[in-house]
Amino acid sequence: MKLNRFVVLCFMVLFTALTLVQGQLWAQGSYTYSINGEAVPGPSVYEAAYEIYGHDLGIGAFREPQDLTVSSTNQVYIADTGNNRIVVLNEELLVDKVITGFQNGEEMDALNTPTGLFVTDDGDLYVADYGNRRIVILDAAGDLQRTIENPTDQELIPEDFRFRPMKLVVDKVGRVYVIAEGVLEGLMEFDEQGIFSGFIGAPRVSPSPWEYFWRSVMTEAQKERSIIFVPTEYSNVDIDENGFIYTTLSRGQTNVRQLIRRLNPSGEDVLRRPRGGFPPPLGDVDFIESVGNPHATVTGRTAFTDIVVREHGIYSAVDLTRGRVFTYDDNGNLLYAFGSVSFEKGGFRNPSAITAIGERLLVLDRRMNLISVLDPTEYASLIHSAIALYQSGDYHGSADLWREVVYRNPNLDLAYSGIGRSLLRQGDFAGAMEMYRLGQDRAGYSQALQLYRREWINENFSYMMGGLIVLVVVGKVLSAWVKRRRHNSGEYRGLATRVSENKVKAFGQSLAYAWHVATRPADGFWDLKHEKRGNVLSATVILAGVVFSYILVRQHTGFLFNFNEAKDLNIYLEMSTILLPFFLWCGVNLGLTSLMEGKGTFKDIYIATAYALVPIIIINLPLILISRVITLEEGAFYYVFSTLAVLWMAALVFMGTMITHQYELGKNVFTSILTGVGIGIVIFLALLFLNVIAQLVGFIDSLYTEITFRI
């Protein structure tokens, strides 16, 4: 007994250790999202080099710092909000100076709760002096240039407005864009003279149709208590070298679809988002509770508190909810996400700002009053370098680096797409198609397919025409030979042979009659029942053909239009998706029509319904081949004919039911609707019965277990 307890204790200790190690490894690692929105783990991308505290710098502790930025000379400016000061660090991250005030005319002026900073290429420092309700502009020496006070534009600004700037950026011509508290109209724009010129880029919400519906049926009191569909406030802002403004929203409202935006000078969102179904820049997908750690308790939507635009169009945003950093490329593809809410080194409790010095990241933690200095791993540097080489035109080098990334992380779809883009630029269209397929990049695959198809046709056009002529000639010769052979051998055939051939011929004719039914259903279904032009064997073969065609469609439709995984094929499930509805329709329809003066037997319904499925075979099989050679731009052709197959089949089922039971149009509509309802009832009862059986089995199993232990 003691030995058993010792073994159990050792097992618990080992399990706890493994859990802690796994959590530590996950915190150090990274992840991306697949095209299905599933989190895919990856190698570590950043490592915590060290942490910077105010005491370590010899200037006293930071107090609720809210922003930091980097100048063109790699000086780091920190808005130490609680201490009403700006701390400036040099490139070695040592104190260069501390700004607490400045000479304003005849008097010394002091900062009051600075919350936002921006440094121009000339070294001018713009400070969102929140407590003093102004923007302060200082030169590189710390002397006051000017201030921007409360705007007085009576047309756009209400009389009781109080200017409380929080974050800001400045473009190359001196225009200032400000996030101000309580302003829902977007960014406040000031010209180079500091004169207010209007609002740009209001983050309008996008209510869903469901939200519109519920709001339409609400009472006035409910509407007042509900979420109003008005613009929301930005949380932070940054600007790239081309003057495009990147903004973030801190709160993930249900009616806000774009947490990161890229605004052009007119305020339009021009942010590129992933192609082919990959998640857009929204942080965590589907607001998951945790990724890879089932014991996590952090809940809620991604709430970006800051964004930094880096080299080569890469940008990183930090999430307050889960303490993570999400990094995207210039097309909005997630390169990696990492981080966690933790008191440990490398974790974040309340990240308020993020900036970059080259590939190094600095994350400001408002709660911990520190700066986390994060250095990239070799894996992250490979990703950054691959993007840089591609943008510089070195496609061979970029492809080589992406292959190295794939070697380190085969789960990164973007790496395969990166190789595909490089091969496409090099003219290797077939290789690019394969890489795009591995990377689930359908837009890139479509582009490569179009170029490959054009190249193949140009190279093989003469062979295609020659082969077509040969095929026509051979077909005619074979047809003449078969006719002559049948004529010469007819009189030598025995009775048994002729009987067997007649049966085969009759079976073939009944199958061929399916085309007549599909194209001329009025007399086709009548002859099926009254002239016996169809039979159960032919109907069964057609039904089997439909099942087979669905399996072929699932497995062999072209990559651009096929979102199924071949490894997930369950042939029994695929068969049941066709056979179960088919037999439910036949059975329920027979039961209802028996009570409503229907003239068809189960055999008649079976044959008519099976023959009505012929359009599925007629259209779907050729579409498999077509789907492999058409591009996304030509995809409307594919979807139109797929829809046509279903509509054609539904019309034939409806007409077949009407002719089989000799119903009028209205009665057939009513019966068809009742049949659909009946199928739903049968499925509900079947599920209910299975649930009862499962509970009974569970009860018997628990009873047996209890008796066994007691005995």
pLDDT in tens, 493-516: 444 444 454 556 666 777 788 888
What dotted CATH number matches 44-376? 2.120.10.30
Of 589, 582, 587, 661, nearest to 616 (Cα)? 582
pLDDT in tens, 513-531: 888 888 888 888 888 888 8
Confidence of residue 419 (pLDDT cuts 50, 70, 90): very high
What single string gives the DSSP state of each residue in 559-608? GGG----GGG--HHHHHHHHHHHHHHHHHHHHHHHHHTT----HHHHHHH
Instruction: Say how many CA atoms lie within 13 Å of 165 toward its Cβ.
Output: 31
Q: What is the pLDDT, as a whole number, of residue 26?
A: 38
Confidence of residue 81 (pLDDT cuts 50, 70, 90): very high
- Using an 8 Å Cβ cutoff, are 597 and 687 in contact? no
Distance from C-alpha of 523 to C-alpha of 521, rounded to nearest angstrom: 6
> What average pLDDT does this structure show over 550-575?
85
Type of residue at 452? Y
Residue spans per domain, the chain: 44-376, 508-693
Q: What is the pLDDT, as a whole number, of residue 289?
A: 47
Check pLDDT > 90 for residue 156: no
- Using an 8 Å Cβ cutoff, are 599 and 661 in contact? yes
* pTM as predicted: 0.79
| Average pLDDT along the chain | 83
Q: What is the pLDDT, as a whole number, of residue 374?
A: 93
Q: What is the pLDDT, as a whole number, of residue 208?
A: 52
Check pLDDT > 80 for residue 110: yes
Q: Report long-range pairs for 15-20 (Cβ below 8 Å, ≥24 apart).
A: 19/295
- Of the listed ranges 167-181, 224-238, 261-275, 463-477, the least confidently predicted one is 224-238
Check pLDDT > 50 for residue 291: no
Task: Record the tokens describing residue 408, joined without a space.
Answer: 């380190």
- Using an 8 Å Cβ cutoff, are 451 and 426 in contact? no
Confidence of residue 8 (pLDDT cuts 50, 70, 90): very low
Task: Record the tokens describing residue 403, joined without a space.
Answer: 């292959």
CB-based burial label for 128 (10 Å; 0-12, 13-18, 19+):
buried
Of 22, 45, 29, nearest to 405 (Cα)? 45
- Using an 8 Å Cβ cutoff, are 199 and 156 in contact? yes
Confidence of residue 309 (pLDDT cuts 50, 70, 90): very high
User: Would you give the distance in Å from CA 150 to the centre of its chain?
Assistant: 43
Check pLDDT > 70 for residue 13: no
∠ Cα 326 327 333 (to 5°) = 110
- Each residue of 132-154: b (16+ CB within 10 Å) or e? bebbbbbeeeeeeeeebeebeee
* 3-class secondary-structure state, position 366: coil
In the block, tokens 């974790």 appear at 347
Q: What is the pLDDT, as a whole number, of residue 175?
A: 94
Percentage with pLDDT > 90 across the chain:
44
> What average pLDDT does this structure show over 667-685?
90
Q: What is the pLDDT, as a whole number, of residue 573?
A: 85
